[in-house]
Amino acid sequence: MGSIACLAKELGHVVSGTDQDIYPPMSNQLEDLGISLDQGYKATSIPKKTDLVIIGNANISRGNPSLEFLLETGIPFMSGAEWLYRFVLYDRWVVAVAGTHGKTTTTSMIAWILERAGLEPGFLIGGLPKNFSASSQLGEGPFFVIEADEYDTSFFDRRSKFLHYRPKTLVLNNLEFDHADIFVDLEQIKQQFHLLLRTVPKHGLIIYPETDRNLQDVVSLGCWSETHQIGNKHFSSEVSAQKDGIKISWGEKDPIEFTWPLMADHNAQNALSAIAAAQHVGVPVDFSCQALESFEGVKRRMEIIFENQNAIIYEDFAHHPTAIESTLQGLRELAPNDFILAVIEPASHTMRKGHHKKTLSNSSHIADHFLWYEPESISWDMSVLANKKSEIISDIEMLRKKIIGRVETEKEKIRVVIMSNSGFSGLCKALVTALTNS
């Protein structure tokens, strides 16, 4: 919704917004653009002379004070996804990236490749890519790259948002169970992904990994478009032993090696999908590889927020056990001898409901020590995660002190990974302030 606000501003509209929880980096971006923000939902949150209200899908349901005011006054409204198609996407070549993990990073990679190729793409990304000054832009060219989420559209439209986008190039990164507040099981999610395939034109392209059985199931339900499977037969990758390079192989062509700023195998897979998508819109593979050498990543995706001689602190937007495990594995390969402290908040609806409690423990075995934050909103007993190298902490100030104490007393070089898909009660900012002033 923040990125949609930026596009509306770029189109020349006067824009304001309201949300329950507003936090960086999106809040900073909106404020820099002069978009006023109202914390919490109130009847007064909507200006009296508003021409149109764009409604998101989080926390907006009947009984919400802003929504009830809107319905009483009769001010026109529509969902964010509908607005995007009607006013931005309807005449563009849409490149959409869907899947459980890696959407933001892959979308950012594609946008950067097209930007470097001089194609002046538009884009909308759920995070803030470091290569751009904003999370969205209209662009001047025919292409629009969008992060396509399977979450439902709004309180009056329960279809997945991505069903509004009508992509010509569709990347499916992976598929696992998520969004337990919306979907009962994985089969329901597969059905939404199958409906997405039905919106891709015959001469469009669907890109997906050949090893993902869930996506294979989706395609087997019916596919009317051209497909490109990422894997040994088509595109494959190999991350170098030094962890600063990658080798791309495709077809009968000679492999291409290039320096690589990101860690972990999942990011190599993201790169393969991005290269394949860019190839579909006309960008040569070798050019895409060259462009990715200067790709800087996305804020809150293993972003270094503090570093000194003895410690490095990363902030990571983690919301699923698979992503946690892959990220920590990549860090371990990068720094095999350093002490790794993982600090994890189960902030997503799915993790708060306990759907991943069995796999969370398995996903976190790679780090040397774990601090699990137990928020008040949790609905399961997190003590099942406690073991010899993990602690459960329910007080945010105590958690902050634990981290600082460990950083200041650890004899080995320490890498701290703060993992959450919420604002984590300002923990990262507080840590940086404390460590900078110590």
pLDDT tens figures, 218-238: 999 999 999 999 875 556 655
The per-residue pLDDT for 179 is 67
pLDDT tens figures, 61-86: 899 999 999 999 999 999 999 999 99
Q: Give the strand pairing for 235-239 and 245-250.
A: antiparallel
Residue 257: strand pairing partners: 247
Point out the least confidently predicted range of 192-201, 284-293, 414-423.
Answer: 414-423
The per-residue pLDDT for 120 is 97
**DSSP single-letter state for residue 89:** I
CATH number 1.20.1250.20 given to 84-292: no
| 46: region left, alpha or beta (phi > 0 left; psi from -120 to 50 alpha) | beta
| Domain ranges across the chain | 2-81, 84-292, 303-437
Please state, for a pLDDT cut of 70, what percent of the chain lies above it.
92
Cα–Cα dist 397/376, whole Å:
14
Residue 93: strand pairing partners: 143
Cβ atoms 263, 330 nearer than 8 A: yes
Cα–Cα dist 414/310, whole Å:
6
C-beta atoms surrounding 366 within 10 Å: 18
Cα–Cα dist 408/435, whole Å:
9
Cβ atoms 388, 369 nearer than 8 A: no
pLDDT tens figures, 323-341: 788 788 888 888 889 999 9
Residue 97: strand pairing partners: 147, 171
Spell 165-180 as b/e; 16+ CB within 10 A means b: bbbbbbbbbbbbbbbb
The per-residue pLDDT for 266 is 74
Instruction: Please give the C-alpha separations between residue 386 and each of 16, 314, 352, 369, 373, in angstroms, as whole numbers.
Output: 44, 23, 17, 11, 11
Cβ atoms 406, 415 nearer than 8 A: no
Superfamily of domain 303-437: Mur ligase, C-terminal domain (3.90.190.20)
- pLDDT(424) > 90: no
Cβ atoms 276, 112 nearer than 8 A: no
Cβ atoms 346, 360 nearer than 8 A: yes
What are the backbone dihedrals phi and psi of residue 301, each rounded to the nearest 5 degrees, phi first? -115, 90
- pLDDT(243) > 60: no
Question: What is the value of pTM for the model shown?
Answer: 0.80
C-beta atoms surrounding 61 within 10 Å: 11
Q: What is the DSSP string of 398-415?
A: HHHHHHHHHHHH-SS-EE
pLDDT tens figures, 109-165: 999 999 999 999 999 998 889 899 889 999 999 999 999 999 899 999 989 999 999
Enumerate residues 6+ apart whose C-beta is below 8 A from 22. 37, 39
The per-residue pLDDT for 244 is 67
pLDDT tens figures, 337-372: 999 999 988 877 666 766 666 677 776 678 899 898
Only one residue has tokens 């992904």, namely: 193
Superfamily of domain 2-81: NAD(P)-binding Rossmann-like Domain (3.40.50.720)
Question: What helix, strand, coil percent values describe the chain, rounded to 5?
Answer: 35, 25, 40
Q: Integer distance in angstroms from the first to the last C-alpha of the chain?
A: 38
Let me know how long the chain is.
438
The per-residue pLDDT for 173 is 93
Instruction: Work out the average pLDDT over 27-40.
Output: 88
**Nearest Cα to Cα of residue 123 among 106, 99, 107, 101:** 107
Residue 9, amino acid: K
Instruction: Work out the average pLDDT over 264-288.
Output: 90
